[in-house]
Amino acid sequence: DLANGGVMNEDAHAKELGLKGITNSVEDVIVARDIMLCRDTGVKLHLCHCSTKNSVTMVERAKLEGISVTAEVCPHHFILTSDDIRKIEPTVDAENKVAIEADADTNFKMNPPLRSREDVQALKEGLRDNIMDVIATDHAPHTFEEKNT
């Protein structure tokens, strides 16, 4: 399991929230592997749920090399970033001192996780430039327990 128990993008927010992160490399190594296999075997490849800048770059290079690859992105991956996960709530203690508490909103828990602004921008550009071929909803029902663990 390359995600190694991670629950969100590995970045400063994950550290601040004390949560284990998932690096972009988890996706990137799989995309690279699958594109190489596609090139070497001549089969057609469709990549689902791309969420990283490197995925867009690798898909673009593959297409320029004539490799038969298509790729999809989900709306949440080109609209939201890992910044959106944090719920920041000011609290006031008994001495009227304000403290800022950060918490993670589990409504933003997904796989692959929401990525950085740089990744989101690359996905938008990939869609605009017809590098990324499909927008897919990625709808999948989950129980309350699955979303909150």
Name the active-site residue from 28, 34, 83, 138. 138
In the residue annotation, 129 being an active-site residue is answered as no
Contacts of 66-71 with C-beta under 8 Å, sequence gap 24+, read: 67/35, 67/38, 67/39, 68/38, 68/42, 68/43, 68/44, 69/35, 69/38, 69/44, 69/45, 70/44, 70/45, 70/46, 70/133, 70/134, 71/46, 71/47, 71/126, 71/131, 71/132, 71/133, 71/134
Q: Active-site positions?
A: 138
